[in-house]
Structure 1
């Protein structure tokens, strides 16, 4: 066993190793029972290892976010708080509407949710309802979270697949005693005075809000926690109940989102699916197809005559949800009972129901189909027939071909109604086998059901029928009203109502896990050490199943606003695993080696989908002198393809970006665009998508092989003085056989620049050269085993603790410097490698090279103050270069990138009585706005989206 003096030192170092936490931390948060002078030291498990130890010391860097951090932030959604950490790139959030899943996800290092493993009390969290199997952290009760441990540097040998980037472990306060009621509320406020964007909207003739927004986007929450002992102290139970509600907020509430910007953020753009419809018109080809080489683009004047459609776009932004409305209830309990030292059964139960709605702009015809319409149709005016005759030489008895862009403003916005129901049950027992060995055996069942109902989208067959007014189809169809799309402002709500449809889908995710392991000391020591070698031996069986059940409307893609069909999916896999870990003290108490420990890990995983694979780790902890530590580790991870990656049906969908061979002045030469399928006559005449959305062909691949990842870390931890300590860790993650898709933008650029068939064969243009009009033009981007990715960076943490006027003051900081974020799309194409570090573009999520969080706490007893500074460095835009003089009021270079962002959060705590505590705070007190990045790239959800966030809470505890 460790000596007490060494434990005291280890606990002191534990605080230092977690110095990057965003608020002050105490040793009791980490090592309950590890008190100097105690006869027996209680050992605990720490994230990154199943070997029990008496401190937080591991070879992998761990950042700790305490319950106090979460309370200080004022956020009612746990993911909002964690997304402010420099190591985490914002993923699924409440700020998604188009394509919303309703889930809250975590994405370590920006490697994807599928490569971030989420744990609860060291056990894998159940899937959140999607085919990727990623967790939905919405179901985690914030009031019961004791701390969150973020371990970077891999963890597959300890926890299994998906821990490529690392692990996020939610430690629940299952020892809570008493009664606690937390009541909280928050709202946003913003001053709408962005002169740059308002100028663009004035030019476009769009409306926008001005002045203070008042309080909007309100959220409310009630969290009840009850805990205590029973059976004369042998048992302990904790129960919780949570209710939370967020009100909706639309883009129209902020001036900077009140218009749909073009790709360069230099003008208000919009969609060609306009209120006053736009038409591509041509004489049909012999096969009934559209003749793009001899076509025109027209809209209607006030007399319903065809006229040029140039500039006729619809500003689709205002009606979209900026923040979705959401309501959640959750209940659960944690129970344990000590029969004796050898048997301590426990149970964990969690249930959540979450309901949200993702509203986006009204549906439309979206130029989706080539309609053949009779020249003699009563829908047309004599003036329109004259135009068709003069332009295309057609007359009575003929047909003309048209693609129509009409926005369904008469029918209202589209919406996806989403309901999640999830539960998780863990039953197990732990205990002592003897004085040095213990065991843990558990069975875990998790299940999530997601109901999706999509409403108010145009139903394709009804549009076709309503346009056939000259024939018998409409007349013979009940409730069919001719669609007066060729009459200026001729479409009424009565016409629009029967043209929409509803689609429904149910997703079922099930997980079963059996786990058993023993941990203890082997009874021998290495020659230079006094502490015995410790080990873990374990086994685990895991089964994952997913089913997506869709109705005929989804299956056949009958809703025009979906971008293509959504197919059903049934899939699953199981894995049997054996694993072991060893902690081997090599040297103790010698010169330049107060402690030298080697850590080894190995896991054998046998999948029924991809066969057997091994993962392992080798790590070294070296404490040369008191209060200084060097740590290094190597982890091999193998990530098996998930259910969606393997089995998702291949179908059309949409991607956002830019076609560099479209427009009157293409970015590439005629020869380069010819590589992508643009003919000489089409060059300079291919119409770009006004909304920046293009067709893609997506889906799974049952022949995928697993990803292979190697993670290296090298760190230094030190205590400079009794008040100052720090940690510095270099890390790199290299992944081969990456499972994913080649970015559509990369496919286009590499094909144009190199003519490489590996890229060009995936570009399919329609007969007009388009990748978006109709369904014949698209880029194939199905799942593949790609080449490689390399992420590289440095994490720096520090803390300073002192007193001012007899009251404690603490300053903590956490920094990530992203050195490399390198993508190699396909093997053998080094010219296609691109680096996203410090860059934002259509293919790069915004990745600042520097991200900092500095937290200052001053505790005056009943009164406490907190100040937090969050910093994101500037990112360049490599896609285009516009006038750098065009800067908005936040000094962000519009169109050329995103300027550095600094946020200041202030909050205060006041303890009214022993039982009542109040909090008040304002995040982003300076009202910084997100960047204006245009419609072809993401502005980064980790930036504050809505301005100031004002929050208040009251806690009652007994």
Structure 2
């Protein structure tokens, strides 16, 4: 079936999409139709995607809304759990991210990156978590949420930078009355991963009803789950030698230690031909490599401890002027744990008379080093993969606050508001369990002095390190203590925003064919962001063996903006024109960076020929300005999961080009494979970066047939194109390699020039400078289009009702292009390193619920479509893979809620009801979120989970 025919089929069968559609508990004709829900108690009108505060305004942008009842039914503790299941969202950083996590949880709309999703609270920017500007969803108090509104599509004309993929707007309940205590506890069927959450909310009036205050506090504790506690992730998997199956393997940074021995003259020693051999007793060599299973000590669910607190206040200064303010504080501590540190095949010099080395081993090292691998002192250069015993541990502690204040009111029928807010996030990162590369080198240079091994350089209390053995007792604890290294980072990010808006209508100025007047909104805004990221001296100097290098990043910028919106009802209550309207918006932004002055705008409208159906469409130009990290980060080293086309016994790149890019003569077919499937990469910022630009089109229809009461169905086509995307060269180090060896095939191309190979064996790992250099440039293109579907229907049954609701997305196309002239990769329905993750072609969530009085029983269905391995489907790699596709996945959740009394509610639930296990693949796949042999942020790796909660009101 072609993509076009599949799209037509889905459009024609929308009404039957019971398997495909979320179920947000929405009011019929309310949010699902794009209409702002009325706030009980006469609260402010909030229209996500517009600043025109007009009652009953219909949004021309598709809006997905999740209200507080749905959040409670899901047992939501961290809002990431709710957002990640919206079909239009893909996992950003989450509780399942261990390696590579920075302690945050984020949302990623349309799969184009969490930096391209803007997060708001009550229509204003929330506090950033660091120098990328991305919001940590851990700082959002779920107990205070009235609803969550998600607009997918560019919204920069309304909100400014970052809203390329869309906006997530959290609406707080700032008129809470009374006191409410909520408790939640959940645990997996296997008895691990316990989560406990407690929150308290109190609110009420003061000053004879002229003021109102809401205060809240909360505590969350989440226990870890290790990859070794699940069968699918207990062992690190990799393709077999013939690449037809997955085998238990792991990393060749191991114990006994491995060394690279790939020179043709050493092939008689390397028994299995993989270019790596291990040590036996007494410094002898074993012809086969040893492997370390990295998985068991890695987290599958990272632990968390969180405290939240804050207060909202509103006070009527006069009948027409209200003062408002909010203070929010969040303390969040998240830890990650990695496999023990090691030397990771860094290059070291070994003196030939080292007493720990056997003579035959020294001879093999001489052959491997060749003439170019011997230094002035006669030391032989070798690459060693040795694994220490204790895991690496990272602890990320964030203390964040935001203070906001302002005035709002009405004058002459117009609403006005002025406000200012300031946010600050302080991050302390502690990294333990590592080793100092320089001290390792010092401890490896050893001579026999009167029968006792001693360091050639004894300064600092050096203790000889014997890693050339298969006997762990030969590695002294004193030597390990000498080389040990702990690291830390201190970081601070601040944001200040001030602005004002004026909105209303022109009264009697209206279309002669319409009853409602023209609506307008104007505003100005000033935003300043600054950040400092300061690693300690050892971390910055690259002395860390296992945590790599971190650079000091200090920078700031500001932007001044002015914006306006208009909505014109053109025709109303006429034959074939129940409603016809136009909306437009414009924003001008002046950045203090190289971005300079940029313009964003929107234009669209809606037409309802009859009450039963409304058509809507919108075009939006949006931008994302480079963040502080992208502008000011120096060059840093990264580990890239991928494939070196010049490595192994059967390279896929040509000999001529491999040798031209640094493979030594005679080494073609003998370049070591990257250990654990990872080679070195380097990236860094660029102060000359310009803005990313996007064009978004949405065209859709909303059906509310009068002959089927309580049914609402919407269908929307979307098209999002991002150009000048800020990405690493070619879209990443792997793509840079592919561009050099398979696309341009020109040694003078920027892609081939970005490659620096080891001068001895041609590898892309080992040396401090070896690897692929892919700094940030405005070069990328991301383009996606497809269809969104939503349905909501309820049927009265006796004294209760049955409700069905849901939505789905069909990704007709998702294209990634690393730069002009490079291949444009089609990523819809594919997964892997080229597409940088997993993009199902079809994804949906639906809920069927029965509600009677205070009792709700519901079943939720989460569907994830089948995906194919990108490099296999795109033909970029001719080698077979044991896993070329991941089948469709379906998860079911059972949730219940019971109002025991007006003051007490019990909730319970079972997620992953049928204990579906995730699909697995090997370390040759890669992409964002790939870990534990799967994508745990997409495919549930924890298994069946039980939850119980209670809410007491006083």
Would you say same fold, with TM above 0.5? yes
Which segments of 5 or more consecutive residues in structure 1 lack a partner in the other structure? 1-18, 190-213, 284-293, 883-892
SS in 2 for 1:752: helix
Q: Deviations over 1:221-259 (max 9, x none)?
A: 101010111111111111100000001111110111111
User: Could you tell me whether the CA contact under 8 Å between 1:675 and 1:751 is conserved in 2?
Assistant: no
Q: Deviations over 1:765-785 (max 9, x none)?
A: 222221123334311111011
Shift of 1:281: 5.8
SS in 1 for 2:446: coil
- 1:333-344 alignment runs, 5 A limit: 333-344=311-322
Shift of 1:862: 3.5
User: Which segment drifts farther, 375-384 or 453-462?
Assistant: 375-384
User: Which segment drifts farther, 942-951 or 899-908?
Assistant: 942-951
Distance of aligned partners of 1:641 and 1:392 in 2 relative to their CA distance in 1, 3 Å threshold: closer
Q: Corresponding residue for 2:721?
A: 734
User: Could you tell me whether the CA contact under 8 Å between 1:20 and 1:799 is conserved in 2?
Assistant: no
SS in 2 for 1:753: helix
Q: Corresponding residue for 1:7?
A: none
Q: Corresponding residue for 2:816?
A: 823
Would you say 1:951 and 2:947 are equivalent positions? yes
Shift of 1:567: 0.8
Would you say 1:942 and 2:922 are equivalent positions? no
Distance of aligned partners of 1:31 and 1:699 in 2 relative to their CA distance in 1, 3 Å threshold: closer
Task: Quote the Cα distance in structure 1 between the aligned partners of 2:369 and 2:598.
Answer: 65
Task: Quote the Cα distance in structure 1 between the aligned partners of 2:808 and 2:827.
Answer: 18
User: Could you tell me whether the CA contact under 8 Å between 2:28 and 2:712 is conserved in 1?
Assistant: no
The two structures have a TM-score, normalised by structure 2, of: 0.89
Q: Deviations over 1:158-211 (max 9, x none)?
A: 00010111100000111111111111111123xxxxxxxxxxxxxxxxxxxxxx
CA RMSD of aligned residues (A): 2.6
Q: Corresponding residue for 1:547?
A: 532
Shift of 1:695: 0.6
Q: Corresponding residue for 1:797?
A: 790
User: Could you tell me whether the CA contact under 8 Å between 2:724 and 2:781 is conserved in 1?
Assistant: yes
User: Could you tell me whether the CA contact under 8 Å between 1:32 and 1:42 is conserved in 2?
Assistant: no
User: Could you tell me whether the CA contact under 8 Å between 1:282 and 1:402 is conserved in 2?
Assistant: no
Q: Deviations over 1:438-493 (max 9, x none)?
A: 10110010110110111111111211121122297566334422101123322133
Distance of aligned partners of 1:296 and 1:427 in 2 relative to their CA distance in 1, 3 Å threshold: closer
Q: Deviations over 1:81-127 (max 9, x none)?
A: 21011011100111112221111111110111111000000101121
- 1:37-48 alignment runs, 5 A limit: 44-48=45-49
Would you say 1:358 and 2:336 are equivalent positions? yes
SS in 2 for 1:170: strand
SS in 1 for 2:814: strand
Distance of aligned partners of 1:478 and 1:796 in 2 relative to their CA distance in 1, 3 Å threshold: same
- 1:19-30 alignment runs, 5 A limit: 21-25=23-27
Task: Quote the Cα distance in structure 2 between the aligned partners of 1:492 and 1:427.
Answer: 60
- 1:341-740 alignment runs, 5 A limit: 341-369=319-347, 371-381=348-358, 384-385=361-362, 398-409=378-389, 412-434=390-412, 436-470=413-447, 476-489=458-471, 490-523=474-507, 524-563=509-548, 565-609=549-593, 610-670=595-655, 673=658, 677-678=662-663, 681-720=666-705, 721-740=708-727
User: Could you tell me whether the CA contact under 8 Å between 1:59 and 1:631 is conserved in 2?
Assistant: yes
Q: Corresponding residue for 2:277?
A: 298
Distance of aligned partners of 1:342 and 1:21 in 2 relative to their CA distance in 1, 3 Å threshold: farther
Task: Quote the Cα distance in structure 1 between the aligned partners of 2:633 and 2:794.
Answer: 53
- 1:810-889 alignment runs, 5 A limit: 810-829=803-822, 832-844=823-835, 845-880=837-872
Q: Corresponding residue for 1:746?
A: 735
Task: Quote the Cα distance in structure 2 between the aligned partners of 1:749 and 1:393.
Answer: 30
Q: Deviations over 1:311-338 (max 9, x none)?
A: 4111111111111111000101111011
- 1:75-154 alignment runs, 5 A limit: 75-129=76-130, 131-154=131-154
Q: Corresponding residue for 2:192?
A: 216
Distance of aligned partners of 1:675 and 1:806 in 2 relative to their CA distance in 1, 3 Å threshold: farther
Task: Quote the Cα distance in structure 1 between the aligned partners of 2:740 and 2:306.
Answer: 47
SS in 1 for 2:256: coil
User: 1:257 is matched with which residue: 188, 212, 233?
Assistant: 233
Q: Deviations over 1:267-308 (max 9, x none)?
A: 12211111101123699xxxxxxxxxx997432224542221
Q: Deviations over 1:636-693 (max 9, x none)?
A: 1122111111111013221111223321223345456457554662222111123111
User: Could you tell me whether the CA contact under 8 Å between 1:282 and 1:400 is conserved in 2?
Assistant: no
User: Could you tell me whether the CA contact under 8 Å between 2:256 and 2:469 is conserved in 1?
Assistant: no
Shift of 1:788: 2.0
SS in 1 for 2:70: helix
SS in 2 for 1:646: helix
Shift of 1:898: 1.1
Q: Corresponding residue for 1:246?
A: 222
User: 1:932 is matched with which residue: 916, 920, 923?
Assistant: 920
Q: Deviations over 1:389-411 (max 9, x none)?
A: 8999999x9543222111002xx
Task: Quote the Cα distance in structure 2 between the aligned partners of 1:220 and 1:773.
Answer: 44
User: Could you tell me whether the CA contact under 8 Å between 1:279 and 1:299 is conserved in 2?
Assistant: yes
Q: Corresponding residue for 1:193?
A: none
User: Could you tell me whether the CA contact under 8 Å between 1:653 and 1:696 is conserved in 2?
Assistant: yes
SS in 1 for 2:838: coil
User: Could you tell me whether the CA contact under 8 Å between 1:581 and 1:602 is conserved in 2?
Assistant: yes
Q: Corresponding residue for 1:172?
A: 172
SS in 2 for 1:465: helix
Q: Corresponding residue for 1:909?
A: 897
User: Could you tell me whether the CA contact under 8 Å between 1:429 and 1:441 is conserved in 2?
Assistant: yes
- 1:52-67 alignment runs, 5 A limit: 52-55=53-56, 57-67=58-68
Q: For this pair of structures, how many residues does the alignment match? A: 884
User: Could you tell me whether the CA contact under 8 Å between 1:840 and 1:876 is conserved in 2?
Assistant: yes
Distance of aligned partners of 1:295 and 1:826 in 2 relative to their CA distance in 1, 3 Å threshold: closer
Distance of aligned partners of 1:660 and 1:948 in 2 relative to their CA distance in 1, 3 Å threshold: farther
SS in 2 for 1:362: coil
Would you say 1:784 and 2:784 are equivalent positions? no
User: Could you tell me whether the CA contact under 8 Å between 2:262 and 2:670 is conserved in 1?
Assistant: no
Distance of aligned partners of 1:377 and 1:88 in 2 relative to their CA distance in 1, 3 Å threshold: same
Distance of aligned partners of 1:559 and 1:590 in 2 relative to their CA distance in 1, 3 Å threshold: same
Distance of aligned partners of 1:775 and 1:463 in 2 relative to their CA distance in 1, 3 Å threshold: same
Q: Corresponding residue for 2:202?
A: 226
Task: Quote the Cα distance in structure 1 between the aligned partners of 2:551 and 2:308.
Answer: 31
Q: Deviations over 1:118-154 (max 9, x none)?
A: 000010112112x211111111101111100001121
Task: Quote the Cα distance in structure 2 between the aligned partners of 1:392 and 1:953.
Answer: 64
User: Could you tell me whether the CA contact under 8 Å between 1:672 and 1:753 is conserved in 2?
Assistant: no
SS in 2 for 1:945: coil
Task: Quote the Cα distance in structure 1 between the aligned partners of 2:408 and 2:22.
Answer: 32
Shift of 1:384: 4.2
Which segments of 5 or more consecutive residues in structure 2 lack a partner in the other structure? 1-20, 264-272, 449-453, 875-880
User: Could you tell me whether the CA contact under 8 Å between 2:196 and 2:221 is conserved in 1?
Assistant: yes
Task: Quote the Cα distance in structure 2 between the aligned partners of 1:751 and 1:675.
Answer: 11
Q: Deviations over 1:474-517 (max 9, x none)?
A: 66334422101123322133432332111111111000001101
Would you say 1:49 and 2:50 are equivalent positions? yes
The two structures have a TM-score, normalised by structure 1, of: 0.88
Task: Quote the Cα distance in structure 2 between the aligned partners of 1:27 and 1:234.
Answer: 33
